[in-house]
Chain A
Amino acid sequence: MNFDVLKGPWDIVVVGGGNAALCAAITSAEEGARVLILESAPKTYRGGNSRHTRNFRCMHEGPLSVLTDSYGEDEYFDDLMLVTKGKTDEPLARLAIRSSEECLPWMEAHGVRFQPSLSGTLSLSRTNAFFLGGGKALVNAYYNTAEDLGVTVVYDAEVTHVHIEGDRFTHLVAQIGGKTHTIEGKAAVLASGGFQSNLEWLTRAWGPAAANFLIRGTPYNKGAVLRDMLDQGCESVGDPTQCHAVAIDGRAPKFDGGIVTRLDCVPFSIVVNCDAERFYDEGEDVWPKRYAIWGRLVAAQPDQVGYAIIDSKSIDLFMPSVFPPNRADTIEELGAQLGLDGAKLASTVSEFNAACRTGRFHPTELDGLATEGLAQPKTNWARPIDTPPYYGYQLRPGVTFTYLGLKVSETAQVYTASGPLSNVWAAGEIMAGSILGQGYLAGFGMTIGTVFGRIAGREAAAYVN
């Protein structure tokens, strides 16, 4: 590539190439700023985790675009409180929620297309707007818009150091095309994600078990800029020992498996560990709670693995899986296929079956069909597993994102112990822990990224103009 382009002069250097970075770049370019985006991934993998996302959670006072009915600030905030159990910065959270309503028309005006809820997710048609074609289509639209605005994008550009002198950013250091480059700008927007694909860091936080985790998203979120900023005295929020993990298909790729690795079979199954023993109430709740807890549950089992066992009555009750399940005519045989003690699995199943009662089974709501007399009960959808063929899926923890991030102000300025940096802003997952300290709310990551990306872009442009 022609490295002359890196010399600038740049008004704003945006680190990262996902949703938040692009919202910032577009907003500041529209204010007339000369903007450079440094994306660590190659072009085909650009967009960070945004390319795996698919929807945007949006407050709205009445029907808005594809969204039906209304979804007010308080209801949205209550939903957030339910998943975070209060681990949120309320003013920032309310700012994100309130601003989401004006974001949706802005997104449409910048090339994003929405469609009605996808089949299988109808419960979200009121709260979440789905991108036509998913997150990669959104990312493509934003790159095209940015290009039309004259934003320069450099791919395969890994930023290793953001140089801070006093309260100011002066330049940054990046590895591009096998060379080290120093890039100067008047302001910086940091939107380079979390550290979930940095396995070494994950292992420090989670212990050796992390070696068995699968990373659902991009392999490029290594947290280099986050680490660098924390090392330079920036304040952090969120829990460094936590990451958001869901239970996904154990055969998924190590990185970048994305949406298709999800397994929705847990409520209709019994889940056993590698000793063929059940360890949690599979019928505790429907999405999203069930989805969010099983990663952690599986991570706590020996070898970080679980096995969901269902019978032919349930095989069509959930979204198709990307890999076909193991299948056998007897539980013993299924157990052997999965690498379990078949006899032990058969006894776990028959013990479970004996505890099932008759009653009304209703797959889409809490039906109260619970086991009786089991030390480890199943409180809903408990039907005997007795109709061959039997099916089994291996489960592993799939990490979606990390919570540790930079502390920011309501204007997205990055904080140090002695106050905000004068020309550094942050947006997206690198600061999302301020708002989402625990749990997850579908489509909220995109809300945070869009709202704070636009704020960061606006503030940075105002600073340089």
Chain B
Amino acid sequence: MSIDLINEARRQTEICNACRYCEGFCSVFPALTRNKMFTDGDITHLANLCHNCRGCYYSCQYTAPHEFDLNFPAALAEVRQDSWERHAWPQPLARRFHESGVAIASMLIVGFVVLFGMLQTFRPASGEGFYAYLAHGAMVSLFLPAFLLPLLSVIIGLRSYWQEIGGTRIRWNHIKGAGLAAARLKNLDGGQGQGCNFEHEDRYSNTRRWLHQAVMYGFLLCFAATSAGTVMHYVFDMPAPYGLFSLPKLLGVPGGILLTIGCVGLAWLKTKADPSLGAARVWGGEMAFIALLGGTGATGLALYAATGTALVPVLLAVHLGFVLVFFLLLPFTKMIHGFFRFVTLIVEEQKRRA
């Protein structure tokens, strides 16, 4: 645990607690009024409750050059980032990929190479659709571990995080409250629906919230499409490819479009925002992650658009390369924030109701 980061966030939290002007912006401020003294776990909890809307920064009387030198969004972002890297397992990979866009890009190249290699080596004698290029067995033997191992890693990380921030027994109400907040991205709405102060300095805008919604729902639709395909394959013996009016496509096409548009938009907004109000160290890694996520959606759409053409084998390798790397890096990229945030929202419901 970085004592310096936690102590700096604690210093700022205590000043915020003596002021409380920002109480109406998001869940962080009502949460901090519960305490007078803040344990390290409290600070980690607040940090993961913060969605970096920056409303508090632009409203703050005490930002530099004031001697109190408050930059609450950045202080919490640093602690939050540190918590993701600290709880990640296996530990050595975490910091590298969070910080480095180059590492993520390199990993992506490795993913392509592996898949092209497999395309060459495991091209089956027969098979339809994608399986004409990569045997189903080969696909499963690669992607099943690439999916399950990261999930195991996420679960291990969340367990230690849960203990650190003082999670208690989960009840339905906690999940419902957290789900509603996540579904509406309530902590990015500025408290009154005016949005955040991300890309136009102190002016409010909902652009980031809407784009983030596009990414979140786009991703969930894509995930649902993949799940639907899996169920159709194994339960109903209906292997790919699927037509446009099938569940995987009806979910996957809009999902891919939302995901791609959302990621392009978020990357663009990130260039507008002041990097010093976030965890500046991971700016590059976050950009690379947005590219990876958006690339997953865009290559999926491209692959579908290329159906029946000679581009399929190349696009298949590229798309599966993106998917493979996305899953392998899931515990070590910004993607982890979704899991941490949701768990934090659950714990916040518990603390609020306690």
Contacts and interface: CB of A to CB of B under 8 A. Distances in A.
Same complex: yes
Interface of A: 44-45, 51-52, 54, 113, 115-116, 118-120, 131-137, 140, 144, 253, 256, 258-260, 262, 316, 319-322
14 contacts: A52-B61, A115-B192, A118-B20, A131-B21, A132-B24, A133-B21, A136-B61, A253-B67, A256-B61, A260-B15, A260-B18, A320-B17, A321-B18, A322-B18
Interface of B: 14-15, 17-25, 30, 33, 36, 55-56, 58-68, 191-192, 194, 202-203
Contacts of B56: 133
B19 A140 contact: no
Contact of B61 (A115, A258, A319): A258
A400 B56 CA distance: 24
Given A115-B23, A118-B21, A132 B191 contact: yes
Contacts of B22: 133-134
Given A113-B192, A133-B22, A253-B67, A140 B15 contact: no
A320 B202 contact: no
A134 B194 contact: no
A137 B55 CA distance: 9
B140 to A, nearest CB: 53
B206 to A, nearest CB: 14
A275 B197 CA distance: 51
A460 B195 CA distance: 36
Nearest to B192: A113
Contacts of B63: 44
Q: Which 7 A-B pairs have the closest CB atoms?
A: A134-B21, A133-B59, A115-B24, A137-B59, A260-B18, A140-B202, A322-B18
Given A113-B192, A132-B24, 10 more contacts: A116-B24, A133-B56, A133-B58, A134-B59, A135-B61, A137-B21, A137-B58, A253-B67, A253-B68, A259-B21
Contacts of B64: 44
A207 to B, nearest CB: 28
Given A51-B61, A322-B14, A260 B19 contact: yes
A316 B36 contact: yes
A123 B140 CA distance: 65
B59 A119 contact: no
Contacts of A118: 20-21, 23
Contacts of A133: 21-22, 24-25, 55-56, 58-59
A120 B58 contact: no
A52 B60 CA distance: 9
Contacts of A136: 58-61
A131 B36 CA distance: 24
B9 to A, nearest CB: 16
Nearest to A315: B36
Q: Among the interface residues A45, A54, A260, which one has the most CB atoms of the partner chain B within 10 A?
A: A260
Nearest to A143: B202
A458 B240 CA distance: 71
Nearest to A47: B61
A132 B20 contact: no
Contact of A144 (B21, B23, B61, B202): B202
A46 B55 CA distance: 17
A87 B8 CA distance: 47
B203 A144 contact: yes
B26 to A, nearest CB: 11
A118 B194 CA distance: 19
A441 to B, nearest CB: 20
Contacts of B191: 115, 132
Contacts of A45: 65
Contacts of A253: 66-68
Nearest to B63: A44
Nearest to A261: B18
A119 B36 contact: no
Given A134-B21, A320-B18, A258 B55 contact: no
B16 to A, nearest CB: 9
Contacts of B203: 144
A256 B59 CA distance: 15
Q: Among the interface residues A45, A120, A258, which one has the most CB atoms of the partner chain B within 10 A?
A: A258
Contacts of A131: 21
A134 B61 contact: yes
Contacts of A259: 18-19, 21, 61
A223 to B, nearest CB: 22
Contacts of A51: 61
A140 B194 CA distance: 14
A116 B66 CA distance: 28
B18 A119 contact: no
A136 B58 CA distance: 8
A262 B17 CA distance: 12
A180 B15 CA distance: 40
Contacts of B60: 136
A407 to B, nearest CB: 31
A52 B21 CA distance: 10
A136 to B, nearest CB: 5
B65 A44 contact: yes
Contacts of A140: 58-59, 202
A113 B194 contact: yes
B33 A54 contact: no
A115 B21 CA distance: 10
Contacts of B194: 113
Nearest to B202: A140
A134 B66 CA distance: 17
A45 B22 CA distance: 18
A236 B63 CA distance: 36
A144 B197 CA distance: 13
Contacts of B25: 132-133
A230 B219 CA distance: 67
A51 B17 CA distance: 18
Contacts of B67: 253
A317 to B, nearest CB: 11
B21 A54 contact: yes
Contact of B20 (A113, A120, A144, A316): A120
A135 to B, nearest CB: 8
A44 B60 CA distance: 10
Q: Among the interface residues B25, B194, B203, which one has the most CB atoms of the partner chain A within 10 A?
A: B203
A322 B24 contact: no
Contacts of B55: 133, 137
Nearest to A319: B18
A44 B274 CA distance: 15
Given A134-B59, A140-B202, A119 B21 contact: no
B277 to A, nearest CB: 14
Contacts of A258: 19, 61-62
A409 to B, nearest CB: 34
Contacts of B58: 133, 136-137, 140
Contacts of A260: 15, 18-19, 62, 68
Contacts of A134: 19, 21-22, 59, 61
B36 A320 contact: yes
A320 B14 contact: yes
A134 B19 CA distance: 10
A120 B63 CA distance: 24
Contacts of B202: 137, 140, 144
A87 B65 CA distance: 38
A133 B36 CA distance: 21
